[in-house]
Structure 1
């Protein structure tokens, strides 16, 4: 399946919001511990079966958590678009943009958060990108998107 926003020549910036590598250690360790418990509780099962089932489930769960991709593409019109998963936002409707540092993240996602805002938050990614919109056809006031390198996202949108 090929999407027009993912062609190599039109991508200005792309990052996948993977879980940190160290999450794999406790994730697989927990799966192995549960498999050991199953082995001890159900001695009729083959010893390898719980491991063969639970370790791949843990790996798939960790991969699923890191499936979100943030990219900035040029669709050929010269006007950049931000893609966050399947949602996209043309740069022409963005009036202001800013980086929300990790230290201000809880305030941005807390009581100050507008319920109509579009939010893609990943707890393991520190900073956020704030994009204030001016689109009369869209009631969304702004987008808040997790990004490991928000300065690169904003530079790609503005270039």
Structure 2
């Protein structure tokens, strides 16, 4: 049996590897739709609540405008989103779904569901893991990072 290394004993490393593996898994599921993982997350936010300000999308995803704007612009170019100036604040923009994005929701969700279930995470309590990760992220919010 190999002796565990310091790296193997780091929670941050396991979270990093899991995050990387999730990104790869989702990339495979989203490839037929020409979507990136981050674009999928934007769609999830808007499928939940359409017509949001750019800053609200960024807040929900934990992304700054410098990161989010190129993602939104690519999605606009590909016909998934519409960007309109806010009527109440001329400096802000409202992002909304196109009919294309609305119509592909079920197919995208089905592809992701099939990929996730095909991985067959035997022995992983997803509900407990999600709860623990939410608690961890809530603790990070209280820190001065």
- With the length of structure 1 as denominator, give the TM-score of the two structures: 0.21
Q: Larger radius of gyration, structure 1 or 2?
A: 1
Structure richer in helix, relative to its length: 2
